[in-house]
Amino acid sequence: MQQFAGADALPQAIFGHSQGETELSGVSQGDHEALGEEQGFQGPELELDAEPEEVVRRIQSAALWFISQLAEGVLPDIELVSRTASNRALTAAGGDEGAEGNGEEGAGSRGGPRHFVLRLQQGTQCRSLVGRHPESAEQVARLWVLLGAVHAMLLSGEQATQRELWYRFKTLEVFRSPRDVNEAIQDAVSMLQVPRSALAITASSKGLVGGRLVIHNRRSGTETDCSLAASGVAVPGDVAAILQDLAFQTDAQLILVVEKDAVFQRLLQQKFFDRVPSIICTGKGMPDLATRAYLSSLSLAFPHLPVVGLVDWNPAGVSILSIYRFGSHRMGLESPHYALPALGWLGAHSSQLRRADADAFQELSARDRSQAASLAATLEQACPCWAEELRQMLASGAKAELEALDTAEDLLDLLERCILEGGCI
């Protein structure tokens, strides 16, 4: 039985082209790739700046290989990087001279954690028409349906969100839920070794950015001053456009990532970015890919700026912060490219809540306890100070939202003091 093992298995005449670099606020696409190499990424590298013509060639070559195998009476396997839990790990970033988190010279990290990101390792899995489970053949079918749609979009210059693809495919028997579309996309990313943005698939962004940031769109020639946007500027859903078209200018001293839109809006309305020169961004809860890519681009454009997070003091808040910092297993091979490995936890944490009103706390649920224990175990080596914060949460049996900080001290005063005194963990 023949196996297809991704882009490296296809003719070099198709995949062996030279790659250019696109400047991004002084940071090139090549720097994005170099970052992945510097961090010791063990799975295959993605070609982040693959041109549409190149992706079309890869799809056509893969299809010709698959059809030729079938014509010869062979049922081919498609070998992909495994996305199972056993094939992913939090691993230390390579070249970690600055492995002090946000450090005392940045936002004042107390623990000085090393930099880690979530990466897939070298394990593989096969998509087979004759797999022992019927789902295996359906996975192959879903992959080719998706690739057919991607091929057509690339040729026509169209784009679609994952949600739009789900509505397009939901009438097909092999697509039973949006998760099936996401799995097919991740299979395509692994097979072609390009990110979803190169597949003409955009994200459904809900992120906002505000504060001391001017955005230059090289494609449209427009300029946006985020400090003048009362409710923030929307993060675009096209990740490729974020990486290729946008350039940034700032006089900020840090980048502040906020979990909640309500807190984000308050910081903008009260012009916190003038009290502490800052760029402020929110993903409105669990971050989407576009918001993470946007923050990654900002961090690469301004590597001297510390990046700090503001989340609820509960397991869900720590989970959100961890996705920003380490990446998400749901994003497979793409995840480490959009991680913020030096992200510090500005608040809320236990030391800031000691004087908060008792009625500002809620009891941890059984699900909260399970999630906190699991996160603490995962973070023990990569970020022991975060793991310790989770253990304190478990020991207290309580959790609190960001708004609880206001019962002890004005939120903006507290944030300014913590930033100036180095209150980040």
What tokens were used for 368?
A: 């909260």
| pLDDT digit string, tens, across residues 42-52 | 566 789 889 99
Residue 344 carries which DSSP code? E
Q: With cut-offs at 50, 70 and 90, classify the pLDDT of residue 94.
A: low
Rounded to whole angstroms, the Cα distance separating 129 from 144 reads: 12
Span 298-307, mean pLDDT?
96
Concatenating the DSSP letter of every residue in 253-283 gives: SEEEEES-HHHHHHHHHTTHHHHTTEEEEE-
pLDDT at 102: 40
**Are the beta carbons of 253 and 305 closer than 8 angstroms?**
yes
Q: With cut-offs at 50, 70 and 90, classify the pLDDT of residue 131.
A: low
Cβ-based neighbour number of residue 33 at 10 Å: 19
**Are the beta carbons of 164 and 205 closer than 8 angstroms?**
no
By DSSP bridging, strand 208-211 and strand 278-282 are antiparallel
Rounded to whole angstroms, the Cα distance separating 82 from 126 reads: 8
Residue 425: which of 291, 306, 288 has the closest Cα?
306
In sequence order, the 6+-apart residues with CB closer than 8 A to the CB of 27 are 297, 300, 301
Encode 212-221: b = buried (16+ Cβ within 10 Å), e = exposed.
bbebeeeeee
- Which residues are bridge partners to 282 per DSSP? 208, 258
CA angle in degrees (0–180, nearest 5) for 353-413-421: 80
Residue 224 region by backbone torsions, left for phi larger than 0, else alpha for psi between -120 and 50, else beta: beta
| pLDDT digit string, tens, across residues 272-281 | 999 999 999 9
Which residues are the active-site residues?
Answer: 167
Rounded to whole angstroms, the Cα distance separating 54 from 96 reads: 34
pLDDT at 63: 96
Rounded to whole angstroms, the Cα distance separating 43 from 37 reads: 10
pLDDT at 163: 94
pTM, full prediction:
0.82
Rounded to whole angstroms, the Cα distance separating 74 from 335 reads: 34
| pLDDT digit string, tens, across residues 140-177 | 999 999 999 999 999 999 999 999 999 999 999 999 99
Rounded to whole angstroms, the Cα distance separating 226 from 51 reads: 31
Span 344-357, mean pLDDT?
95
| pLDDT digit string, tens, across residues 180-213 | 999 999 999 999 999 999 999 998 889 999 999 9
Write down how long the chain is. 425
Residue 410 phi/psi, 5° resolution?
-55, 130
Rounded to whole angstroms, the Cα distance separating 253 from 72 reads: 63
Rounded to whole angstroms, the Cα distance separating 104 from 89 reads: 28
Rounded to whole angstroms, the Cα distance separating 211 from 228 reads: 8
Rounded to whole angstroms, the Cα distance separating 214 from 279 reads: 10
